[in-house]
Chains A and B, each alone.
Chain A
Amino acid sequence: MPYMLLAPAVLVTVFIVFFPMVQALATSFYDLILWKPNASRFVGFGNYVKLFADPVFWTALGNTAIWIGLTVPLQMALGLLTALLLNREFPWRGLARGLIIIPWALPSVVIALMWRWIYDPNTGVLNDILIYLSVVHSAVPWLADPDLALYAIIATLTWQGFPFFAVMILAGLQGIPKSHYEAASIDGASTWRQFVHITLPGIAPVLATAGLLRVIWVANSMDVIFVMTGGGPGYATHTLPLYAFVRARQNLDFGYGTTIAVTFTILLGAVVALYLARTMREVER
């Protein structure tokens, strides 16, 4: 009976999740360019061979590593700091907690356009401030410089994503019993030691879960990059999901685009599996 009741949900999941996944895998074995419907043919692992010889793939893979490697820790650090601040007693705390969620609640496209204006070399406010403070002498083309563009977008995404961590960590903080801190201070533990031995272990499960979720979300998110630079200048802000999108949707090369997507899923899946195994071990211990 329980399985009967589960059946509809399983069926729906199979149909809307697994079926497209299998289809994507199959598509990646074909040379399929949408505007050449008659030239479509089975090429086996041909697309994958082409992919590993494609310098843009390696550039995009490197960018993706930087993208995930910087964005998630930065969001987590900023979120932790915010949560610690918000966990203190101060007037209007409720209001501050409400306001902090705004970047998270804004649509990505709005955020991307907003930050494009902030970064604009001719009219942007960031350059204005930096020039006024004499930090730089002439406007910096944040998004047009291949050495800066990716980091400029990472800063934007950090701003967008930190409230998620802040809220999650705040909830974790409030679950730590006050008595632990009292006991520790009676024993003469400094604030730092209280943080390391009580606070951090208390929120570790939250950090792990939220961090894992964020890695997956950040890895897949390309909307902000797409609106801010479209992957340019050159390939400077191409991440793998964006590259897959450009190939499949803009060049209509579905075979190759899907190959990129499948490869990325496998890479990400490996990271997720490693991480899951690790956390499972800790849970059992």
Chain B
Amino acid sequence: MKMLKKLAVGAALATALLASTASAETVRFWYHFDNPENPMDDLVAKFEADNPGIEIEAENVPWNSYYDNLYTALVGGNAPDAAMVKLFAQPRLIEMGALEPIGEQVETWSGKADLLDNLLEINKGPDGQQYYLPIQYVVLYLYYRADLFEQAGLKPPATCDEFRDAAIKLTKAPETYGFGLRGGKGGWDQWGAFVLSQGAKLEPGGLTTPEAIAANQWLIDLFQKDKVIPPSAPNDGFQEITAAFKNGTTAMTIHHIGSSNDMVKALGDKVSAVPVPECGGGRWTSYGDESLAIFSSSQVKDAAWKWISFLAEGENNVAFNKATGQMTVTKSGSENWTLHERRFVDATVQSLPFAEVLPQNTATSEFVNTAWQTAMQQALTGQITSEQMMQQLEALFAQQ
């Protein structure tokens, strides 16, 4: 009996607690920052001071399982009100009916004119509605060791042939390798620079053309035959490729401006960047987008909109990008951009003309999440051929 009483008291307390938090509007927000110096608390404090009655519960969700957690939370009915999202996830989220259109709010928003041109257009949903509010962007480019190139009398590569030539000359295995390839999770955007540039397309019939298979074979050969890529490549992710570049194991790698400050800290003037090489007459690099979205399940959509639009405005957006190390989406913020060294900003801007996003369909999520990585690892380690790898990937898009 005593037990029951205690239970009843506990239940009553819990209800009271829930009721009291419900009186103030709470916006649950998910984001992912790798940077340990996290300014989110400052942004939240600033927002809450400007908007009494709204509380922000911001949660930093680890990137490696960000989408696993997000999809599961959405299906489980425990989704946040708003979150950071990327374009490749948009078709899936729309199919799940999880996104709230924000077109009307954007139209009347004071910050709209300050957004960089074309960004809203790029982020439109496949059905023409606006669900995403851009928050930051990056473009992948080629990092290279300026000092090693100079010693070897080489110029930074502008084509795939020059790239291979330089990689071979700069490889002194097992101490140094020409190129740090990301064969593990998230490496598809490096792969794209070599394969999607040569006409391969993520669509039925787009990956198994002779040109696409040959382009993929060329990349595999860099690893298997030319041996200009460290043997650990099939398992290497972001941490491994940046660590290998910083400690001098690799002379080139592909990543975006987000890692530039870290690279400069380790290498100083010895690191520089150029756009990715032109391969077989074509060029492709990944436009790395990041937006904010509101979920249709949210009970506090107006408050959530206030919060996400706050993050996309001028100085707030600059503070946000200070943490992620990426580029601001606002014109006012871009003018006095001091967060990165000039040469990396230049390489980013020069890459914009041929920067693209992956096609927006539901197979793209699986391609990005698991399929590319598994197929690439099998091909690199000789378990399947280039052609089999491309067939495997194409099957994904043919299922549509």
Contact = CB atoms under 8 A, between A and B. Distances in A.
A249 B72 contact: yes
Nearest to B370: A250
A235 interface: yes
Nearest to B98: A35
Interface in A28-70: 34-37
A229 B370 contact: no
A82 B236 CA distance: 36
Interface in B144-176: 173-174
Contact of A232 (B71, B243, B365, B377): B377
Given A123-B243, A138-B173, A232-B374, A35 B92 contact: yes
Interface of A is mostly: loop
Nearest to B389: A234
17 contacts: A35-B362, A120-B232, A122-B243, A138-B173, A139-B174, A141-B232, A144-B381, A230-B184, A233-B183, A234-B234, A234-B375, A234-B377, A234-B378, A249-B72, A250-B68, A251-B370, A252-B71
A144 B230 CA distance: 10
B173 to A, nearest CB: 7
A130 B198 CA distance: 42
A138 B174 contact: yes
B381 A122 contact: no
A139 B231 contact: yes
A232 B184 CA distance: 8
Contacts of B72: 34, 249, 252
Nearest to B382: A146
Given A123-B247, A250-B68, A144 B231 contact: yes
Interface of B is mostly: helix
A246 interface: yes
A21 to B, nearest CB: 20
A37 B369 contact: no
Interface of B: 68, 71-72, 75, 92-93, 95-97, 173-174, 183-185, 230-236, 240, 243-244, 247, 249, 362, 365-366, 369-370, 373-375, 377-378, 380-381, 383-384
A236 B374 CA distance: 10
A202 interface: no
Interface string A124-148: 0000000000000011110111100
A233 B378 contact: yes
Given A35-B365, A122-B247, A138-B173, 6 more contacts: A36-B96, A36-B362, A122-B244, A138-B231, A251-B369, A252-B71
A121 interface: yes
Nearest to A230: B185
A229 B71 contact: no
Interface of A: 34-37, 120-123, 138-141, 143-146, 229-236, 246, 249-252
Contacts of B233: 144
A146 B381 contact: yes
A144 B232 contact: yes
Nearest to A34: B75
A234 B369 contact: no
Contacts of A122: 230, 232, 240, 243-244, 247, 249
A121 B184 CA distance: 15
B96 A37 contact: yes
A37 B381 contact: no
A3 B236 CA distance: 57
Contacts of A236: 377, 381, 383
Contacts of B374: 231-232, 234-235
A183 B309 CA distance: 85
Contacts of A144: 183, 231-236, 381
Nearest to B374: A234
